[in-house]
Amino acid sequence: MSLHDRRKASTLTSPERGGAAVTIDGVTMRFGDRVVASDIRVEVAPGEIVSVVGPSGCGKTTLLRAVAGLLTPSEGSVRVDGEIVDGTPDGVGMVFQHFGLFPWKTVEANVAYPLRLRGLQKEEIAARTRELIEMVGLSGFEKSYPHQLSGGMQQRTGLARALAVRPRVLLMDEPFGALDAQTAEVLRFELLRMWEERPITMLFVTHSIDEAVLFGDRVVVLKGRPGRVHEVIDVALPHPRDRAVARSEAFAALRERVWSLVMSPDAGQAG
Amino acid sequence: MKRSGSDSRLRAVAIALAGLLLGLIAWQIAGQRDPVLLATPVRSFEALVAMVGDGTLPAALLDTGLLFLVGLAAAIVGGVGYGLALSRSRMLRGSTGWLVFALQSVPIVALAPLILAAFGFGFGAKTLVVFLSAVFPILINTAEGAKHAPKTLLEVARVHRSGEWPLWRDVLVPHTLPYAMSGIRQGIAMAFVGTFIAEFFLQATGIGGLLLSASARFDSATVLGLTVLVSVIAALLMGLGRRLEKAFAPWREGSTE
C-alpha cells in the first residue's frame, strides 16, 4: 500500500509514467550443467525503475538478456505487458556496457538504425534522428564515426539509439560501467533528467551500488551461485533524483543498507 | 613535420630511381657483352615499340586483360559470396568447409593442363584457371572475417528485431568488407599468375602467348621487354589493390584495432 501511495505522490511532480509491465516469473537460467540464476521472480510496474545489483557472477546480466529475449529461460518465463518474451518484443530498448555501436556507421546512422529497420519514411527518420541527437547533446557530431568520439559520447549515441524506438521498456546493461567516474556521473544525472521528462519502465543492471539506489524505485539484490533474489529494497527517495537527493542522509542510509546486503556472507545458497 | 615527411618521400623516390638507373646500366653493359642471350634495354624497348606498331601488343594486352578481369571478377563474386554464406550456414560449413581448405593447397599450375583439356582450351576454360587461382584467398579471408563478426553487434541486431537481409546489410557485409578486400588484394596477384598459366598451355594467347613464342625464337629483346612490361603492370595492380583495401574501410582510419 505504501508503495502505491508513493507511486501516486511521484506522479504529481512528474508526468504520467508510461511504459510496460515486466514480469520475471520463476526464471532459471542454465548453461549445460551450470545453473547461473535460479527461480528469479521480479515484477516491474509500468514506469518503474528496478535496479539489479549483486556480486559478479550472480547472473544479473544473464537475467537481463533473458528479458531482452536474447536468451531463453531454462525454466519460467518473462512477460512484457502480459506477452511471453520470445525474441525481443517490440518497443524494448537496450543500452550496452560497451556501447554496441556499429563502427562503420556515423553517429547519425547509428541512431537512425532502429528507425530504418522499422521502415519509416526518410524525412521522418531524419527529423527524429536530429531530435534524438540534440536530446543527448551530440549536435555537431552527426557525421563522426564512433572511434572519433570519447567513451561518454559513444554511450550518448547508444542511449539515443535505445530511445529512438520510443521504448516501453529500457534495459540497461551496466551502461556506465565502461566510462570514467566523472563522465559516468554526468551521464547518470542526464539520463535521470530525461527519464523525469518521459518516465518509462527501466530494468537497470549495475555493479555500482550508488547507481542502483540513485535510479531504483526498488533495488533487487541477487546473491549466490546460482544467483537468487536475496532481498528487495524499497527506495523511498523523492523525485526528481538530482544531486541534492544523492547528497541526502536518506540516500546514504539506503546505500549502506544495500552495501551490507551485497557484502554480507552468502545467504543465497541456503534459501 | 609535414615538410620533413615530404622530404623523406622525395628521398625514397630518388633512391628508387637511382636503383632503377643502376639496374638499367648494368643490364645495358651485360647486354652489350652478350647480345644474343641478353638483349640490351634499348633493343628491348625497340622490340616493344615494334609490337605496338604492328598491333600485336595491343591485341595481346586486350586478350590478357579480358581474361584477367573476367576471371578475377568471377573469383570476387564467388569468393565473397560463398565466404559470407559459409559463415551463416552451419550445414554449408560442415559439408564443404573442409573441402575449401583442402582445395586451397592444391597447386593450380599442376591442374591447369587438365582443366584446359577438360574444358576445351577456349576462353571459358582459361577463365576457370584464373578463377581457381584467385578464388581461395578471397574466399578464405572473407569466411574468416565473417566468422568473427562481433557478438555484441549481432546482439544489437537481434534486439532491434533485424531480419536476415538487414543483418547482412548492416552488420555482416560492412564488418567483412575489409577482410574481403585483403583477400581480393591477394587474389589480384594470384589471378595475375593464373592468367599467364592459362595462356601458356597449348593454345597460347595474349601476352603469355607472345612471351612463349618469342622465347622459342630466342628473341631475347621481346622476352625481356614483355617481362619488364608485365612487372610494371603487376606493380601497378598491387598498388591499386592496396588503395582499394584502404578505400573500403574509412571507419578504420586511425582506429587502434
**What does the mean pLDDT of chain B come to?**
84
Residue A2 binned pLDDT confidence (cut-offs 50, 70, 90): very low
| pLDDT at residue A11, as a whole number | 41
Distance of alpha carbon B80 from alpha carbon B246, whole angstroms: 18
Q: Do residue B251 and residue A147 have CB atoms under 8 angstroms apart?
A: yes
Average pLDDT, chain A: 88
pTM (2 d.p.): 0.77
pLDDT at A26 (0 to 100): 92
Q: Are residues A239 and A105 in the same domain?
A: no
- Contact criterion met (CB < 8 Å) for A104 and B166: no
Inspect the interface and report whether the beta carbons of B160 and A90 lie closer than 8 Å.
Answer: no
| Residues 141-160 in A contacting B (C-alpha not used; CB under 8 Å) | 145-148
A88: left (phi over 0), alpha (psi -120 to 50) or beta: beta
| pLDDT value, residue B253 | 54
Average pLDDT over residues A189-194: 93
- A178: domain CATH number is 3.40.50.300
Q: Give yes or no for a contact between A258 and A233, defined as CB atoms under 8 angstroms apart.
A: yes
The beta-carbon neighbor of A88 closest among B159, B171, B250 is B159
Choosing from A123, A145, A166, the residue where a domain stops is A166
Asked whether residue B164 carries a pLDDT value surpassing 60, the answer given is: yes
Chain B residue with minimal CA distance to A103?
A: B251
In the numeric block, the cell 536476415 is attached to B164
Residue given cell 537512425 in the structure block: A112
Subunit contact A100:B160, Cβ cutoff 8 A: no
Residue A41 in this model has a pLDDT that exceeds 90: yes
Asked if B247 is an interface residue toward chain A (Cβ–Cβ < 8 A), one would say: no
Q: In this model, does residue A67 exceed pLDDT 80?
A: yes
- Hey, are the CB atoms on A92 and B159 less than 8 Å from each other? yes
- Per-domain residue ranges for chain B? 1-33, 40-251
Is A271 part of a structural domain of the chain? no
Question: Which of A115, A137, A166 represents a domain boundary (last residue)?
Answer: A166
Instruction: Please check whether residues A81 and A189 belong to one and the same domain.
Output: yes
Report the pLDDT averaged over residues B133-149.
90
Statement to judge: residues A187 and A78 lie in one domain: yes
pLDDT at B36: 72
pLDDT class for B202, splitting at 50, 70, 90?
low
User: Which of A213-217, B34-38, B75-79, B207-211 is predicted with the least confidence, judged by mean pLDDT?
Assistant: B34-38
- Chain A residues whose beta carbon lies within 8 Å of the beta carbon of residue B249: 104
Residue A89 neighbours by CB under 8 Å, 6+ apart: A69, A80, A83
> From CA B103, how far away is CA B86, in angstroms rounded?
15
Q: What mean pLDDT comes out for the span B100-118?
A: 79
Single-letter amino acid, residue A236: A
- From first CA to last CA, the distance across chain B in angstroms is 25
The domain total for chain A is 2
Higher pLDDT, B73 or B201: B73
Same domain, A160 and A179: no
As a whole number of angstroms, the longest Cα–Cα distance in chain A is 58
Domain extent for A147: 101-166
pLDDT value at residue B255: 43
A84-98, A230-244, B199-213: range with lowest mean pLDDT: B199-213
- CA angle at residue B203 from B199 to B206, to 5 degrees? 40
Q: pLDDT tier at B4 (50, 70, 90 boundaries)?
A: low
Same domain, A116 and A199: no
Q: Is the pLDDT of residue B26 over 90?
A: no
Greater confidence (A7 vs B213) lies with B213
CA-based nearest residue in chain A for residue B254: A147
- The answer on pLDDT for A13 being more than 80 is no
pLDDT digits (tens, 9 = 90+) for A87-133: 898 889 999 999 999 999 999 999 999 999 999 999 999 999 999 99
Looking at this predicted complex, what is its ipTM? 0.84
Burial B74-109 (b: 16+ CB within 10 A, else e): bbbebbbebbbebbeeeeebeeeeeebeeeeeeebe
Whether residue A104 and residue B175 make contact (CB cut-off 8 A), yes or no, is: yes
Look at residue A16 in the predicted model and tell me its pLDDT.
Answer: 62
What is the CATH T-level fold of the domain B40-251, as seen in this structure?
A: MetI-like fold (1.10.3720)
Point out the residue among B160, B250, B252 whose CB comes nearest to the CB of A113. Answer: B160
Considering the domain architecture, whether residues A131 and A109 belong to the same structural domain is answered as yes
Looking at A118, A149, A166, the residue that finishes a domain is: A166
The residue with greater pLDDT, B234 or A269, is B234
Measured distance CA(A160)–CA(A111) in Å, rounded: 6
Quick one: pLDDT band at residue B109, thresholds 50, 70, 90? confident
B95 vs A28: which has the higher pLDDT: A28
**Confidence at B252, pLDDT banded by 50, 70, 90:** low
- Report whether B68 contacts B127 (CB < 8 A): no
Predicted local confidence at residue A239, as pLDDT:
86
